[in-house]
Amino acid sequence: MSSGSDKLPRPAAGAPVAYDPPDPPASPDAGAPRELELAGKCFVLCVTGSIASYKAIVLLRLLLKHGAKVSVVVTPSAEKFVQTSTFSALTGEATYSDMFGRPGEPHVDLARSADAVLIVPATADCLARLAHGLANDLISALVLASRCPVLVAPAMHPAMWEHPRTQHNVLILKSQQNLSLIGPVAGEVASGEYGLGRMTEPEEIFEAVRESVTPNDLAGRHIVISAGPTREAIDPVRYLSNRSSGKMGFALAERAAQRGAKVTLIAGPVQQRTPRGVERVNVVSALEMQEALGAAFGPQLENADVLIMAAAVADYRALDSSPEKLKRSDSTLTLELTPNPDILAGLGARRTGKSPLLVGFALETAAEAELIGLARQKLIKKRVDMIVANRSEALDSNESTALLVSVRDCQELGTRTKPVLADDILNWVARKLAVLESDEATE
């Protein structure tokens, strides 16, 4: 009945088109799978009988790809649209379609195991069952038994959605504390008509799911993150730089924003998309990065709570960069370099109290056994709170094997994808901020 087409909603004739300056073109890695970001999370995906049922498979694949464990429940009507074998082939476990015939109490067991229950798509009938607290099928029973977030993505013909009965049910559902509706959206439905009733696309539902299990523990904090390399001009067409891709800094910015922080991302020249909700400042050289960081923090470093210096700032720049392109010749060319300012150490020296929290990175080619010692030396020299120590293999890679080294502690994290490492670093930051706040309250 609804939501069967992948076509985008038709724009209204003559509608103004807003100009949004484009992001730099995405690198092949931009939008690369953020593997295992949902590792350890369990979802119950409930599929009801709509033409949009097949889109639940897309959502399931996204969840699995990101490391989640998913149990799937399908109603008898949904089975008319999609085969349970598709779901069980993907999850590796039998699909639930009934409350009976299994040991235990599936509705209670599933509800207890879930970090979130997802009803995708949700039919009008399903909305009615949920609104009125029925428990005569596995989905409505498990929703009654759930205390975790329940995310419901309705899909139906616009006439069904607009109907006062459905709207009454929607009102009841909106007042239920742990339940949220995602969509429906306006667009083309299966009949070819346009209207409100089309299911929100699985990719957008996935973002809402991720949000529902993401802590909001950085809300109210301003975090400044630097990312990428810097480029130091030799002449108008040549520069010194390094292999940093910016992936770590961009992953940190994305996750910090998702966890509620206000994020300023000072980015060197990289081909990465700006994460949603992040304010990006593009810079080229180390001196520009220093200036942008100074502007973000303010004269007394009072404007932000945290700096995570993930940028690979060039240590040196050409003493005199030539305004003209250097000409080729047969004699040797000596390039004189001068050290760039150590931006992080500069901020460490300027900090008088415990704020802002300063986190640096140490990228070493030394053997792993020496990493902790080198990171501690850096920590003390630069007067920062924590150093993320990793080996140079992390440059331009999707993964990193890191240690979180603070004055008293050293956390060995093993090999992780950068988004997962970003969460570990932000967990440390969130804990440290909470400790500082409670210390302040007791002083």
In the complex, the residues that contact ligand FMN under the rule CB under 6 A are 1-3, 48-52, 75, 77-78, 123-126, 155-156, 160
- Reference 249, options 313, 296, 315; nearest CA is 313
CB 123 to ligand FMN: min, Å: 3
CB of 71 or CB of 290, closer to ligand FMN: 71
Q: Which is the catalytic residue, given 136, 178, 242, 340?
A: 242
All residues at 6 or more sequence positions from 299 whose CB lies less than 8 Å from its CB, including other chains: none
CB of 165 or CB of 243, closer to ligand FMN: 165
CB 161 to ligand FMN: min, Å: 8
CB of 51 or CB of 307, closer to ligand FMN: 51
CB 56 to ligand FMN: min, Å: 12
CB of 144 or CB of 337, closer to ligand FMN: 144
Q: Verify whether residue 398 is a known catalytic residue.
A: no
CB 132 to ligand FMN: min, Å: 13
CB 80 to ligand FMN: min, Å: 7
User: Please, which residues bridge with residue 146 across strands?
Assistant: none
CB of 125 or CB of 201, closer to ligand FMN: 125
Which residues have a catalytic role annotated? Answer: 242
